[in-house]
Structure 1
């Protein structure tokens, strides 16, 4: 019998990337399909399944799929609800069911893009052997993932770590999302860039704002306000979780020299046993790598069940 294979799907706003590996992680091939914004999620998933089947026929004909990992883009809706793929309504349960059916009962694991990135760091990168640990994603949005015993904490509804919905002021207590400013709307790459563009139209990214703050007093003030509020929430989270290590990933982590001093200073000052603060080892393409890591974990579970039986 030929050895089984593993699939990884990275579902983002505009495209679905799929890759196949063997059970030890060696890449066999990959492909990308557009999601086409006007089409239903069911149609997009069907296109992804078709692309994966064509890929398997090309790189692993006749080999069964034993594990599937999926990274779903998670974004904050305008009124505070959590949705996937920019409001397209992806359901992790529906995705898992559809892929399990499509690939002969393969074991399937689904997580948000941030949780998938944390999985990569916990297994192969900056958070390996750290327990517990926190992965802080600073990109367009804001979220964290909490790693305990090498596993990423999902929460009851799969939304653990969604600090983008945090309250910002005492006056926010008891207020519905539509009546307050959510943390992600003030402290995120998107928010920082929007505020910076009002002050200096020439900037082109949040990372640019961080690294260019020295040449403009208004940018410097924005960055200081951004890092102080981020440090406030990260410090409170560290006090609650008591992590061994915090890794910072996402596009804004490229400005590590700017982010590290104020964040580390806040942690060292307020946390009883300050964690190590480090940059993520996999700053690029982590959701896709995370999907493959999830698929490998699903395959290990399936193979363990077979061995036990």
Structure 2
């Protein structure tokens, strides 16, 4: 009897690509990561990821057919390119959908923005289950949100719903093109925070905290900086780190409060590398939401704070396999039967 098919999840980030293979019941068979190597360009980055995926499939699922591939990526993916993804040179002109269909013939391909993929898995089996509407806030290397309504993640007309990194920051920005102003993501994101942190720390620390790392590295360094800011504020030492943290959380709060007033969500879940510093971020956001939103929403840490885009990619692949009727519905991971995302238990 032939072994049942498997699915593949790919999460393309600015500095690393995460991969996972799962059975059709959601059980994870194996995973891997590789450097994105953005400096080599989009074609080389994609080719390396495809090779890594084939090697992973050969290792953990030898001889088993591939039913579907789910892809989460920075930017807005399509058949002919990925919009709003400046971190990987040439990614905008790469025919991502077509390239993946050629690389994995016969497999269904599903593409999604990484933050929207993360929101989907949180809505189906994580912190946003049963919350309608809801907001997923990603605080990682970059900044974006996803809005969940009627159990689905809102894409928007062009797939750009939730790209708050482009938000105006003040009245002086009105009427100015992006190149003529400082967009929100350049001030409120993990990368922006670490670049500012480097400027207020000693030379040695500043060289270590330079904002060029990936989500995991920046999250870990940010946690150190938040701890230093708290210590400095309590012992009367250098106040600059504490001021920087306060300003960062305040500007983030300003935009999240306005979004919460517009959406009126039941709950906001926060994921990404910066939730390693959850307590000070939560406290500042909580105060701002309670003070200004007519009906303040719940505010929680995401159930899968660091792996949600990859888990979302796997969920996309499982749904694609089901929609293609290659597998019986009873064997698939669905929102009704799955208490958690593929291969991971829930996290507090």
- TM range, smaller chain: 0.7 to 0.9
Specify which of 242, 253, 258 is matched with residue 264 of structure 2.
242
Alignment of 1:129-168 (within 5 A): 129-168=130-169
Structure 1 segment 29-178 matched on structure 2, within 5 A: 29-37=30-38, 39-74=40-75, 83-84=84-85, 86-91=87-92, 94-178=95-179
Aligned 8 A contact 2:118 2:308 in 1: yes
The alpha-carbon distance between structure 1 residues 138 and 230, as it changes in their structure 2 partners (threshold 3 A), is: same
- Residue by residue over 1:155-184, the C-alpha shift from the partner in whole angstroms, topping out at 9 and shown as x without a partner, is 222222111110011111110111111111
Moved more, 149-158 or 31-40: 31-40
Please give the alpha-carbon distance, in whole angstroms, between the structure 1 residues aligned to 2:169 and 2:298: 25
Q: Go from structure 1 to structure 2 and tell me whether the alpha carbon gap of 1:268 and 1:124 turns closer, same or farther (over 3 Å shift).
A: same
- Other-structure match for 2:195: 194
1:208-287 superposed matches below 5 A: 208-214=224-230, 215=232, 216-287=238-309
Q: Which runs of 5+ in 2 are unaligned?
A: 77-81, 210-220, 233-237, 330-348
| Distance across 2 between alignment mates of 1:53 and 1:226 | 42
Task: Specify the alignment match of 1:4 in structure 2.
Answer: 5
Contact 1:92 1:110 in 2 (8 A): no
Call closer, same or farther: CA 1:305–1:172 in 2, change over 3 Å. farther
Deviation at residue 35 of structure 1 after TM alignment: 4.1
State the match for 1:301 in structure 2: 323
Q: How many residues align?
A: 302
Q: CA RMSD in A?
A: 2.7
Whole-angstrom distance in 2 between the partners of 1:274 and 1:119 = 23
Query: What displacement does 1:304 show?
Result: 8.3
CA distance in 1, matches of 2:179, 2:277: 32
State the Cα distance separating 1:33 from its structure 2 match: 4.4
Q: Indicate if the aligned counterparts of 2:39 and 2:88 stay in contact, CA closer than 8 A.
A: no
- Range 233-242 or range 136-145, more displaced: 136-145
Structure 1 unaligned spans of 5+: 76-80
Question: Aligned partners of 1:95 and 1:134: how far apart in 2?
Answer: 28
Aligned 8 A contact 1:239 1:272 in 2? yes
Q: Secondary structure at the match of 2:276?
A: helix
The corresponding residue for 1:78 is none
CA positional deviation for 1:36: 4.0
CA distance 1:232–1:93, change in 2 (3 Å) = same
Contact 1:11–1:85, Cα closer than 8 Å, also in 2: no
Q: CA 1:31/1:72 → structure 2, altered by over 3 Å: closer, same or farther?
A: same
1:31 CA displacement: 3.8
Q: Secondary structure at the match of 2:296?
A: coil
Q: 1:143 to 1:37 in 2, by over 3 A?
A: closer
- Work out the CA distance in 2 between the residues paired with 1:233 and 1:71: 25
The CA distance in 1 between the partners of 2:176 and 2:312, in whole Å, is: 35
> Is the 1:13–1:73 Cα contact (8 Å) retained in structure 2?
yes
Aligned to 2:29: 28
Distance 1:279 1:139 in 2: 13
